[in-house]
Amino acid sequence: MTFVQKALARAAGVESAEVGQILDVRPNIALSHDNTAPIRKIWQRLGQDRVAIPERMAFTMDHAVPAPTPRHAQNHQEARDFAAEQGVSNVFEVGRGICHQVLSEEALVLPGQVILGSDSHTPHFGWMGAFGAGVGRSEMAVIWATGEMWLRVPESMKVTITGELQPWVTSKDLALHLIGRLGADGGLYRSVEFHGDGLEQMSIESRMALTNMMAEFGAKNSYSPADEKVVEWLTPRLAARKDISETEAREEIRDSILAPDEDADYVEEVLINASEVGQQVACPHTVDRTADVGELSTIKVDQAFLGTCTNGRIEDLREASRVLKGKKIAKGTRLLVIPASSEVMNQALSEGLIQDFTEAGAMIGVPGCGPCMGNHSGVLAPGETCISSANRNFKGRMGTPEADIYLASPAVVAASSVLGRVAAPQEVVS
């Protein structure tokens, strides 16, 4: 069986599952964020007094934080009240960070488990070898009410990454390369599994960027093996959350791991030689319109944005600071840096990265989604161009349909802010 067959079978309480089978799956975690308040309204229409699974629900406040309007503030307030009323304790306040990053840091999801989120980037949790998929608001309301949801067991595709990435090339480039090569629907409905020695060499942060981006590939979920790096990343976090010893935490994580069988069936196999991948940029207005960074050096940049659940982690901030330290942002260009979580913010502060950014002339935002989906805090003006480390460059995504959004790695975003045009980091640092 593939990973997804095993994970969905276990969550549905059955021995095995066939591709195409519809299973009633009981997720280990049901994630919602600023949309908790509207989901609650839908849930109320079901006529229940109590949700069925308060211990498995998790709310973050991240999409518009701190609240830009009274309406947004009211959404947050309703989520808090609802959590108190229903006994939901996994509530992560304004400023804690973006849902996918926070739930990873809190070790609320473990390898082999199932998380359903009313957020399209829930495939993110593939980084640890968990099943994560996005669902809609009505579905989340029904999960709260019944603890389960129908899911079709998808076909799987296998992406094998061999070799090593070139200097300044990142897993973001790899993801854009894959999406550019096979199209934004290249992984449609599928479970996209990553394997290979190229993947094993990658840091946890890099793997997160890769599986997170699979939402832009149409994937239902993504998977990267739960190896020792994953176990070691999660162990102290789980120990801290549950107040148990690291030995106990490590054992619990190891026991939870599911891996695909050697002879599992894949509908498609793709091989990527990492050493052949260059620095990629996705051009407006779709993620699969990719180009090499060098082809775009005439594109002037008004705003550079470093952040989001794709590339707002400590590794990303370090890469950007390698480019920016001691430099100034180009006149006429602004750089906005928003760490993905308070943990990332604290780490960046202690390493002096935040000061590197502010001395270069950058603005620092509150951990959260910021302008990623056009809510507030750095949205664009008509006619402007932004280069962003996010995952989505759809028309209108950052507030106005008349702006252009280019997507790239953190180092390319940083270099572009220094030169005021799309630029490779090698043009800024030797």
Partner 1 sequence: MPTVDLSQPLTGRVWKYGDDVNTDVIFPGKYTYTKQDPEEIAPHALEDLDPSFAGAVQPGDVVVGGSNWGCGSSREQAAGCLRHSGVSAVIAKSFSRIFYRNAINSGLLVIAMPEVVDLIESGQEITIDLTAGTVCSAGRSWPIPPKSDSLRSIVLAGGLIPATKARLEAGQ
Q: Among 91, 137, 254, 361, indicate the residue that binds partner 1 (CB under 8 A).
A: 137
Least Å from the CB of residue 372 to ligand SF4: 3
The three-class DSSP label of residue 238 is helix
> Which of 54, 163, 396, 420 touches partner 1 by CB under 8 A?
396
Closest CB to ligand SF4 among residues 117, 186: 117
What backbone torsions phi and psi does residue 404 show, to the nearest 5 degrees?
Answer: -110, 135
Whether the Cβ atoms of residue 198 and residue 175 lie closer than 8 Å to each other:
no
Q: Which partner, ligand SF4, partner 1, none, binds residue 41 by CB below 5 to 8 Å per kind?
A: partner 1
Of the candidate residues 95, 366, 395, 427, the single one contacting partner 1 (CB under 8 A) = 395
Q: Quick check: 69 binds partner 1 (CB under 8 A)? A: yes
Which residues sit at the interface with ligand SF4, rule CB under 6 A? 63, 98-99, 119, 121, 308-309, 369, 372-373, 390-391
Pick between residue 235 and residue 310 the one whose CB is nearest to ligand SF4: 310
Contact between 401 and partner 1 per CB under 8 A: yes
Residue 135: contacted member of ligand SF4, partner 1, none (CB under 5 to 8 Å, by partner type): partner 1
Asked if 242 touches partner 1 (CB under 8 A), the answer is no
Angle of helix 410-419 versus helix 314-324 axis, rounded to 10: 30
3-state secondary structure of 218: coil
369 makes contact, choosing from ligand SF4, partner 1, none, with CB < 5 to 8 Å by partner type, with: ligand SF4
Options 1-9, 33-41, 91-99, 260-268: segment touching partner 1 (CB under 8 A): 33-41
Of residues 155 and 343, the one with the C-beta less far from partner 1: 155
Find the part of the chain contacting partner 1 (CB under 8 A) among 132-140, 203-211, 253-261, 340-348. Answer: 132-140
SS percent in the chain: helix, strand, coil, step 5: 40, 20, 40
Amino acid type, 114: V
Closest separation in Å from C-beta 124 to partner 1: 13
Buried b (16+ CB within 10 A) or exposed e, 230-266: bbebbbebbbeeeeeeeeebbebbeebbbbbeeebeb
Per-residue H/E/C for 350-402:
HCCHHHHHHHHCCEECCCCCHHHHCCCCCCCCCCCEEEECCCCCCCCCCCCCC
> Which option in ligand SF4, partner 1, none does residue 211 bind, with CB closer than 5 to 8 A by kind?
none
Longest dimension (CA), the chain: 64
Among positions 4, 8, 17, 42, the unique one binding partner 1 when judged by CB under 8 A: 42
Q: Strands 149-152 and 22-25, how do they pair?
A: antiparallel
H or E segment and range at residue 314: helix 314-324
Residues contacting residue 352 through CB under 8 Å, at least 6 positions apart: none
Please state the closest distance from residue 351 (CB atom) to partner 1, in A: 33
Residue 77 in contact with partner 1, rule: CB under 8 A: no
Q: Which of 286, 347, 355, 426 binds partner 1 (CB under 8 A)?
A: 286
Helix (H) / strand (E) element for 81: namely helix 70-86
